[in-house]
Amino acid sequence: MPCSGAGRRDTASSMQQPPPSPINRELSQLAFNRRVLALAHDSAIPLLERLRFLCIVGNNLDEFFEIRVAGLKEQLRAQLAPPGLTLPGLRALLGIITDETRMLVAEQYRLLNYAILPRWRRPVSGFCGTASAMPSSARGCPIISGAK
């Protein structure tokens, strides 16, 4: 019975195709934060949970910049590209991270200021001020000003 070749790899054609690019940890983390932010957009989710999703994104971005981005910047400063990247690739990656993060944070604030805060029906314990008047209202807020 002749072999049909089913299941056999054609090594010549697979050698011509570039290997799939490795998953970039930094861009994967930003994509995860975009998905979390999308949950904050979902009006079917209770308002306080949506606010929690915004906080999760903020905390994740803080840690991301303190650890990952700081490490990449240190590698760039030392002129040592991480494995799988060249120095120009590292610069490009930092540029992409900056652009993506700016968009994420802008959307985070837009969602907070125009979709979540305006929907509060009653004051939330420990939460002072509004999005448009936070600096002046923060002076009277015991949590922010430290007053008792």
pLDDT at 20: 40
* CA–CA dist 101, 63 (Å, integer): 13
CB 32 within 8 A of CB 104: no
pLDDT at 54: 97
CB 36 within 8 A of CB 52: no
Tell me how far CA of residue 5 lies from CA of 10, 11, 13, 25, 51, in angstroms.
Answer: 9, 12, 15, 38, 56
Q: What is the pTM of this model?
A: 0.66
Q: How many helices (H) and strands (E) does the chain have?
A: 7, 0
- For residues 127, 132, 134, 137, the Cα torsion angle rounded to the nearest 10 degrees is -90
pLDDT at 41: 95
pLDDT at 63: 96
* CA–CA dist 43, 30 (Å, integer): 22
Q: Is 76 exposed, middle or buried (0-12, 13-18, 19+ CB in 10 A)?
A: middle
Domains annotated on the chain, with CATH? 23-120 (1.20.58.310)
Over its length of 148 residues, how does the chain's per-residue pLDDT go in tens digits? 444 444 444 444 444 544 444 468 899 999 999 999 999 999 999 999 999 999 999 999 999 999 999 999 999 999 999 888 899 999 999 999 999 999 999 999 999 999 999 987 655 555 555 544 444 444 444 433 334 3
Tell me how far CA of residue 104 lies from CA of 51, 54, 80, 125, in angstroms.
Answer: 15, 10, 28, 28
